[in-house]
Amino acid sequence: MSAELHYQTIAELSARLGRGELTSVALTQAVLARTSAVEPRVGAFNSRDEADALRQAEASDARRAAGQALGSLDGIPIGLKDVIAVRDQLLTASSRMLANFVSPYDATVTQRLKSAGAVLWGRLNLDEFAMGSSTENSATQPTANPWDLSCVPGGSSGGSAAALAAGEAIATLGSDTGGSIRQPSSLCGVVCLKPTYGLVSRYGLIAFASSLDQIGPFTRTVEDAALMLQAIAGHDERDSTSFKTEIPDYRAALTNKRGPWKLGIPKEYFGEGLDPEVGAAVEQAIAYYREQGCEIVEVSLPHTEYCLDAYYVIATAEASSNLARYDGIRYGHRSRQASDVVDLYFQSRAEGFGEEVKRRIILGTYVLSSGYYDAYYLRAQKVRTLIRQDFLSAYQQVDALITPTSPTPAFRRGAKADPLALYLCDIYTIGVNLAGLPAISLPCGFSSAGLPIGLQLIGQPFAEAELLAIAAAYERGHDWHQRHPQL
Ligand code: GLN
């Protein structure tokens, strides 16, 4: 095996564990050692418990020795974004508001990873309450991009992307409301999958915008994304928006369905603001699919220009409602300065939330207020329907869509001080959330500065199996995913 243990895939490692060439304890120790070596420079973790990880690894080895190994994830170190609840562990959302909050229960995805035997390793940094595109809005620390430590890893799941790219975990989970899995995956050069809304339970995920939020994996390969999705997908009665649908064998689908597919290129995704190097890399990927026999057609998603506006009305409206619970009394930071109970609410929220979160709560409260509700919130919901219809009518012609994931490679920390400049990072990812669709991002090249570029494949609702197969077809012909940053 060529790569160091911390850069191997779930598929490779689980085969080695199965053959008895490796123990979970040895693998976990390698990941812990790598983390100790690089984490002072990367800053991907909010908290981590080495002793706990090693205990889980020992339990995995004991299971295996007794002939009771649980499957591909058994014994594999997997990191979780710090908005996914793990019982008896800190759960901070990278906010002062929840700095000392310990979760009393497991999220459904956590429970499923535990029953698959995964070694849960650390809580990963993010933009506070998942609001941002650079992980600079974290109250903990900014996370660095492993490919260039002076650059951001993207966000909001920047810790999940950076930890994987740096070899500090074998796979991670993040959450995606407007691009928060895909954009950091693109900027850090790893694979990810944002599932169809309703495929993965949101129970135990700290809510940002409930009609948009989905949990999904970051992995080194498409095959690993299939393995992770297999473990976390499926109906959950504790999430009322969870969908009852048959879960196929995602890994088998990688080789079963070979295409050739009919792929659409939405012309609105290749206009102004697209970095020329990103555009060129995506064009090469399109050319590759054409060479493989796929039919490539131009399609139009005419309401694309309204995606950002609709998103920043709907997401902030839902956030203002979801974040009302952090009042310093039932949950969250409690101010010591308050003079009376009303002042206690004011002071606790003023001290607990960062600037971007406050901006969103104020905006969201405004668009929901009487007199403005129809003009903003209701109208944004109607626009959302049009955006979804754009995608669904494109799917009458094509199997999937190809776009860039992010308009640019990673940018320098501090380079985007204006909130609007940051909001534009999600211009190619937000429509997918508004329409509730699945999408994959995978590496498709590097900029002249050596920074990763990501390709986005957008699929039809609940067609993850086919989407994974389309992604795997690209990955088989390229070796971008085998490159690792020099740290
Ligand atoms: N960057 C977007 C925002 O700031 C999306 C965040 C997300 O997907 N959680 O809202």
Distance 159 CA to ligand 1 centre (A): 14
Residue 311 alpha carbon, nearest atom of ligand 1 = 10
Rounded-to-integer distance, Cα 205 and Cα 180, Å: 14
Share of the chain above pLDDT 70, in %: 99
Q: Which of 157, 426, 429, 456 to mutate to test the pocket of ligand 1 (most atoms within 8 A of CB)?
A: 426
Protein residue with its CA nearest to atom 10 in ligand 1: 131
Distance 432 CA to ligand 1 centre (A): 12
Report pLDDT digits (tens) over 3-52: 899 999 999 999 999 999 999 999 999 999 999 999 999 999 999 999 99
Strands 214-219 and 295-299: unpaired
**Tokens for 192?**
């990810």
Rounded-to-integer distance, Cα 233 and Cα 236, Å: 9
pLDDT averaged over the chain? Answer: 96
Rounded-to-integer distance, Cα 78 and Cα 6, Å: 11
Residue 212 alpha carbon, nearest atom of ligand 1 = 8
Q: What is the pLDDT of residue 257?
A: 63
Distance 428 CA to ligand 1 centre (A): 12
What does each C-alpha distance from 328 to 72, 177, 254, 387 come to in angstroms? 42, 26, 48, 38
Rounded-to-integer distance, Cα 454 and Cα 429, Å: 12
Q: What is the pLDDT of residue 314?
A: 98
Rounded-to-integer distance, Cα 483 and Cα 357, Å: 36
Report pLDDT digits (tens) over 376-418: 999 999 999 999 999 999 999 999 999 999 999 999 999 998 9
**How sure is the predictor about 2, in pLDDT bands with cuts at 50, 70 and 90?**
low
Distance 208 CA to ligand 1 centre (A): 9
Q: What domains sit in the chain, N to C, each tagged with a CATH number?
A: 2-263+397-482 (3.90.1300.10)
Distance 178 CA to ligand 1 centre (A): 5
Report pLDDT digits (tens) over 419-435: 988 998 999 999 999 99
Reduce the DSSP state of residue 470 to 3 states and report it: helix
Report pLDDT digits (tens) over 112-136: 999 999 999 999 999 999 999 999 9
- Say yes or no to pLDDT of 466 above 90: yes
Pocket of ligand 1 (CB under 6 A): 130-133, 156, 176-180, 208, 315, 426
Report pLDDT digits (tens) over 363-377: 999 999 989 999 999
Q: What is the pLDDT of residue 1?
A: 43
**How sure is the predictor about 259, in pLDDT bands with cuts at 50, 70 and 90?**
confident
Distance 342 CA to ligand 1 centre (A): 31
Rounded-to-integer distance, Cα 146 and Cα 142, Å: 12
- Say yes or no to pLDDT of 258 above 90: no
**Tokens for 144?**
């660095």
- Say yes or no to pLDDT of 324 above 90: yes
- Range of lowest pLDDT (82-91, 113-122, 254-263, 474-483): 254-263
For the beta carbon of residue 396, count every other beta carbon within 10 angstroms: 7
The crossing angle, in degrees rounded to 10, of helices 24-42 and 158-165 is: 120
The set of catalytic residues is 81, 156, 180
Residues 125, 140 contacting (CB under 8 angstroms): yes
Residue 131 alpha carbon, nearest atom of ligand 1 = 4
Residue 356 alpha carbon, nearest atom of ligand 1 = 4
Distance 180 CA to ligand 1 centre (A): 5
- Say yes or no to pLDDT of 443 above 90: yes
Spatial neighbors of 13 by CB under 8 A, at least 6 apart, are 5, 22, 27, 75, 76, 170
Q: Which of 156, 206, 208, 323 to mutate to test the pocket of ligand 1 (most atoms within 8 A of CB)?
A: 156
Placement of tokens 């369905």 in the chain? 257
Residue 181 alpha carbon, nearest atom of ligand 1 = 8
